Amino acid sequence: MNKYCFDEIVNRTNTGSQKYDGQENYFGKCNLLPMWVADMDFRTPSFIVDAIKKRVSHEIFGYNVVTGNYYKAVQRWMKTRHDWDITEDWIVFTPGVIPALTISVMVYTEPGDKVLLQSPVYPPFFSSITDNGREVVNNTLKLVDGSYQIDFDDLEKKAASGVKLMLFCSPHNPAARVWSRQEIEKVVDICRRHEIILVSDEIHSDLVHEGCIHTPAPKVAEDGFDKIVTCMSPSKTFNVAGLATSAIIISNEELRDKFCSMVRNIHLQNVNIFGLTALEAAYNYGEDWLESLLVYIYDNYIYADEFFNKYIKEIKVVKPEATYLLLLDCKDTGMSDEELENFFVEEACVGLNRGIDYGPGGEGFMRMNIGCPRSLLAEALEKIKEAWEKR
């Protein structure tokens, strides 16, 4: 029996929640059961809430600085969860991982430069490149026997085309792959040989399911290659995305200095008091809660997979190795991407993310967020089943 309660239904409407209150802007209607934005419907764990309450009791919330407690907490978490020894001076605060990706594009490349990514991938990967006048070079992932794989022959070819920077999603969103150590070694080696700076988004690295092990990209780098920027955050793991806090780890002094200079230039160095408090509590006390969460999420995956196998065989769940995000392969339904969107939104009244929003390779897919109480997941699946039976 799970020692923590993940079955509680918490009403999130009228709280400014993007997932709930923002659905009309995204879907054009507001009466959906939202299973889209990548945050969870579970209460933030009590050890974080209690730490924030204690900080609130001070009753002064002026400008804050990053203290040694932040650095020690990040170092501790990297060691205990990922067996990775890092030093304090490698760690840079930013208000989120996506700002860090964008900063990396801005400081390590010039307008017109080529930046490599691997779709289908989280949409801001594309916008962080194109919004800054850089060129997207895409190494599209291959779906092989129900699992996404890296096309290394194509990656080698693309890397040799003059790419300056690679945005690497590890574990991958939305493919939910935990890249093996061998796969990461190959990616790092290709970047080393072609003198490409590697920016590794590892925001989902704590949400790895049993049987898989996440390896931070710098751990496998050889021959002194250290042109790697690693992006970590407690936001997905502990449901604190709204507190805008992350830890960017850069061992290369030249890269770190350039990154920090841009952070100062665009005035992102001011920290969120409660974000720092949440990170320190999460990384110091969060292991037991996280282990229970992972069990619950994986059971949600099993529940959804068995449901589709029983009632809608035309929709197949891509088995996740990490995250609380399920990629649904809907190609056997015979519906176009436009028809899929209409089916889920208009007929089932369930809000999912469209696979096509993640770029080439996302056609015919939908992304479902299962970071929610089982009863909400069951309700969403029943709505989809009822809509399917009416077709």
Looking at residues 74-97, what average pLDDT do you find?
98
**pLDDT at residue 306, rounded to an integer:** 98
Residues 6+ apart with CB under 8 A from 48: 238, 240, 277, 278, 281, 282, 286
Read off the tokens for 14. Answer: 């009228």
Looking at residues 25-41, what average pLDDT do you find?
96
Looking at residues 118-127, what average pLDDT do you find?
98
Radius of gyration of the chain (CA): 21
Please name the helix (run of DSSP H) or strand (run of DSSP E) that holds residue 185, with its range, or none: helix 181-193
Residue 188 burial by CB count (10 A; 0-12/13-18/19+): exposed, middle or buried? buried
Number of H-type helices and E-type strands within the chain = 14, 15
Q: Are 326 and 301 in contact (CB under 8 A)?
A: yes
Residue 327 pLDDT exceeds 80: yes
Question: pLDDT-derived band of residue 90, with 50, 70 and 90 as boundaries?
Answer: very high
Please name the helix (run of DSSP H) or strand (run of DSSP E) that holds residue 41, with its range, or none: none
Q: Are 217 and 201 in contact (CB under 8 A)?
A: no
φ, ψ (nearest 5 deg) of residue 288: -65, -45
**Whose structure tokens read 């690295």?**
205
The whole-angstrom separation of Cα 374 and Cα 89 is 42
Q: Are 115 and 136 in contact (CB under 8 A)?
A: yes
Looking at residues 376-389, what average pLDDT do you find?
98
Residue type, 267: H
**pLDDT at residue 111, rounded to an integer:** 98
The whole-angstrom separation of Cα 252 and Cα 267 is 22
Read off the tokens for 362. Answer: 């996302």
SS3 369: strand
Query: Up-side HSE of residue 318: CA atoms within 13 Å toward CB?
Result: 32
**pLDDT at residue 58, rounded to an integer:** 97
Read off the tokens for 195. Answer: 């003198």
Q: Is pTM, for the whole model, over 0.85? A: yes
Q: Are 228 and 217 in contact (CB under 8 A)?
A: yes
DSSP state of 43: P
**pLDDT at residue 184, rounded to an integer:** 98
CA 20 to chain CA mean position, Å: 19
SS3 33: strand
**pLDDT at residue 1, rounded to an integer:** 53
The whole-angstrom separation of Cα 196 and Cα 163 is 7
SS3 335: coil
Question: pLDDT-derived band of residue 2, with 50, 70 and 90 as boundaries?
Answer: low
The whole-angstrom separation of Cα 308 and Cα 313 is 6
Looking at residues 106-123, what average pLDDT do you find?
98
Looking at residues 264-292, what average pLDDT do you find?
96
Residues 6+ apart with CB under 8 A from 282: 45, 47, 48, 73, 77, 234, 237, 238, 240
Neighbour-count burial for 238-266, b at 16+ CB within 10 Å, e otherwise: bbbbbbbbbbbbbbbeebbebbbebbeee
Domain architecture of the chain: domains with CATH: 18-45+287-389 (3.90.1150.10), 60-285 (3.40.640.10)
Q: Are 217 and 248 in contact (CB under 8 A)?
A: no
Question: pLDDT-derived band of residue 222, with 50, 70 and 90 as boundaries?
Answer: confident
The whole-angstrom separation of Cα 36 and Cα 210 is 24
Sign of CA dihedral 8, 12, 18, 19: positive
**pLDDT at residue 75, rounded to an integer:** 98
Residue 216 pLDDT exceeds 80: yes
pLDDT in tens, 303-313: 999 999 999 99
As a whole number, the mean pLDDT across the chain is 97
Looking at residues 111-136, what average pLDDT do you find?
98
**Whose structure tokens read 């996506």?**
98
Sign of CA dihedral 116, 214, 96, 227: negative
Q: Are 23 and 31 in contact (CB under 8 A)?
A: no
**pLDDT at residue 3, rounded to an integer:** 80
